[in-house]
Chains A and B, each alone.
Chain A
């Protein structure tokens, strides 16, 4: 005991005597020179020190002077260990080799390991792109959003949909970002695929409502998707040939080691198969998307990125109907490091979504268009103030142009277009108070001004227009100011345990009404107005996380529990008996009220070994109360589901094979079931008492996947992926309806329509360099 005390005192003395110094550097891929954000940097002699490389691959650690063994590791790359003697400031760069060609023992790790304990930010889900590529996939297409739907608190909008709902929110309440630019429709083919080509993704982060002040504009969540830079060392081609879609990514250097370009394209060819059928031979059904990225290292302190995305879907039948919808995004991002502690990020982007639908019936043409355009300028400064504070502050100024609908038929032409100027200002401080306690405190100020031109209305209780005011171009119609405080605290009970708590207030000025249960190009958008107030959410949450070591690894297992309560205001739902196309003025179709959701999310993860994966369970409840609906009483929200279970396992027995399985279960979705029926005009009508008074049958599905990696060659790699979606072929509810059927005695029949029974798939992937 005495010896230990002397040793400790001696160590403390040495540490106290040593002057503080910094160790900084950058982590890049040896293969293509791309920064490796998220790479873990740890110091063997200082087990409490360590960090993950930032977005540009840089890291900086404050350490006492001394000699250290620094370990840099990242999933998919060989671990690199270096020794460094730190006197004042020291630089240490890492170039990590891809471990694909390493024929040594296989070990899969998760770079998000320990994040749940270390991070001050609450309720963040990081998706490992490498894990996603091993998971079972639908139609052989790896999908970032379907992978996120396997995480606690995240639910699929409907079967096979790439729409997702977070903690009781609607999919339209999620902010989806691609390299910082807003994506207004993240789904292809009614949501069967997401718009994100998995081959170009670098990093995927989901903030489940407790978002830092830098993010805002939606009340449910933020999905931040970052694309990878091209290979800045040599030319490379990656591709995949699948059952229904193929894709190709080409990338290479502009200036070796400094600048790169990347172009990726993906297209389905479902309609080629349809041509072989009698009924659908004249049908068009396809999508494509193109990603392009340029990155330039202008100087040691300046980095410029240019991102472009264009995705289009189309569905058409002969000369009878056509539906086309898609997004185009262009973004420019300049990162300037003023000095090692201050970085300025300047971004400008334009995001444009348009849907065009047309149909001909009886020589009459019907057309419907919708547009959602956002042009933004964003400035964010990150300032490391001393050792304990990291300050983020900035602003975003956006111009919004939303055509909620423009339709024409015969002599009728109606259009509703709304303009707005939206400004956000934020400041956010991550304060590491001591080794155990850290705070993330910030505030975001939302200033939303609705602009002319256009008519604005006053309506009566039934939604009828009672007066109209016409505004000129650029006139201020209505301004809403919303301060949005955010607070998150992390207290580390031990190195392996932490307690967290958070509060956030968020607001949203873009409102969406859906035309069905899944993402369709007929959904309509509008902005807050004199009648529709901004939707707001107040969320409090608390969490506990613990990790366990095994014989060979720290944090081999992790357990995390989060509880939350969220209250929402000014959420909208349809008035009884109206649809999205009943009136051009959306404000007349909906009523606004309040909502509440609460739940508990549990996750158990295994991070290392030949078998990795997780089990998650969510128990939740979501309700709404809107005057004028359900006799003004609280009712179960449309997207309420009580239990969600996800089990994901990835087995990597050797370098040649990956096997994966995911099983998903959720209890039945809320739905309205009639309690009686009657006839009017000889037609049967059903009588409903309470809205959403019934539960649909439960949902469960097993997906299986296997990938065989070809023997790696110097310039060529390939792999073959097999998948089986809904392996045991369960008919899961997509639509449940009660309708008349003259062939049954009662005259009524309830039917369940499922999307698919089981779907096999295969994909051949290759890499040429």
Chain B
């Protein structure tokens, strides 16, 4: 029911905007992050097999995502596939360049020191992207958001869950996760907000403020980016859906079983398109 959740969230935010008027930065005293927690991000797809293993960072530090190289990571499948992954470029990968197969249930096993966890995930059938389209969406009277629409043909005979994202240089800029409820012949699309009209006008100024493009969660004119539509299982949907409440003091609901492990393991089928963010003047001509 993610669509209703998003809808209620937008309504609440709009309503609160009328009443909350003052904001200031706080200095809070955070406890230090525990070394005992292991962060696992496991992916098996028709694009390859990659697993990231990291530790927690302190809230007051930048996130360290360089990867921990001393874990033993194994992936096996219900079709007989089994392989220990190798470490390189900050992640564990399949030395045989194996790829996921729809319908196969995969098991991830990670062991590092006293930490050990495992999880299962079944790779769904692929739902391909039919087309993509840039489009403006009015929010407030004078606020327009430049959106990317992802059109698809959902299989009506099964309940499907989708994760769709845009990424630049292999790093996700924005993503959403939703079930197929609410999709119809007329509205067979998901959309992602790329930029507001106002902030787009201030692009160059924003760029100068940033410490580097890789930290920005915004696409700029001329940026080459990738849009991906993943068909995921319920546990993956639940992880990212529950992650919406992370700011409210709740850890996302993980499918990892074990002590002191956070993150997820997802076997998914993915389709991608490569796009270029248009210039502002060019975008204004779009509907």
Contacts and interface: CB of A to CB of B under 8 A. Distances in A.
A285 interface: yes
A521 to B, nearest CB: 8
B14 interface: yes
Contact of B11 (A359, A412, A688, A749): A359
A747 B215 contact: yes
B257 interface: no
Contact of A576 (B10, B63, B210, B242): B242
A578 interface: yes
B284 interface: no
Contact of B57 (A576, A672, A677, A738): A677
Interface residues of B, number: 88
B28 A361 contact: no
Nearest to A678: B39
A748 to B, nearest CB: 6
B59 A520 contact: no
B79 to A, nearest CB: 27
Interface string A725-747: 00000010011111110110111
Contacts of B30: 673-675
Interface in B193-236: 209-211, 215-217
A691 B247 CA distance: 12
B22 A756 contact: yes
Contacts of A368: 4, 7-8
B249 A581 contact: no
B249 A410 contact: no
Given A516-B16, A747-B63, A361 B137 contact: yes
Given A674-B30, A678-B56, A688-B251, A747 B62 contact: yes
A576 B239 CA distance: 11
B59 A677 contact: yes
Contacts of A160: 19
Contacts of A611: none
Contacts of A522: 8, 11-12
Interface in B222-281: 238, 241-253, 262-264
A88 interface: no
Contacts of A282: 141
Contacts of B122: none
A675 B34 contact: yes
A27 to B, nearest CB: 44
Contacts of A272: none
Contacts, number: 249
A35 B138 CA distance: 58
A409 B244 CA distance: 21
Interface magnitude class on chain A = 35 or more
Contact of B210 (A581, A676, A679, A742): A742
24 contacts: A279-B141, A323-B11, A357-B11, A410-B186, A411-B182, A412-B3, A522-B12, A577-B250, A579-B244, A581-B4, A674-B59, A676-B33, A676-B59, A678-B262, A688-B250, A694-B28, A734-B20, A742-B211, A746-B60, A751-B24, A752-B24, A753-B22, A755-B22, A756-B21
Interface of A: 160, 189-190, 192, 278-283, 285, 315, 317-318, 320-321, 323, 357, 359, 361-362, 364, 366, 368, 407, 409-412, 515-516, 520, 522, 576-584, 671-689, 691-692, 694, 697, 731, 734-740, 742-743, 745-757
Top 8 nearest A-B pairs (CB, nearest first) are A577-B242, A672-B249, A676-B33, A676-B56, A682-B172, A754-B22, A577-B253, A581-B4
Given A192-B19, A673-B31, A751-B25, 7 more contacts: A280-B18, A281-B141, A285-B18, A362-B135, A582-B241, A678-B39, A746-B61
Interface of B: 1-5, 7-12, 14-16, 18-28, 30-34, 37, 39, 41, 54-63, 65, 135, 137-142, 147, 165, 167, 171-173, 175, 181-184, 186-187, 191, 209-211, 215-217, 238, 241-253, 262-264
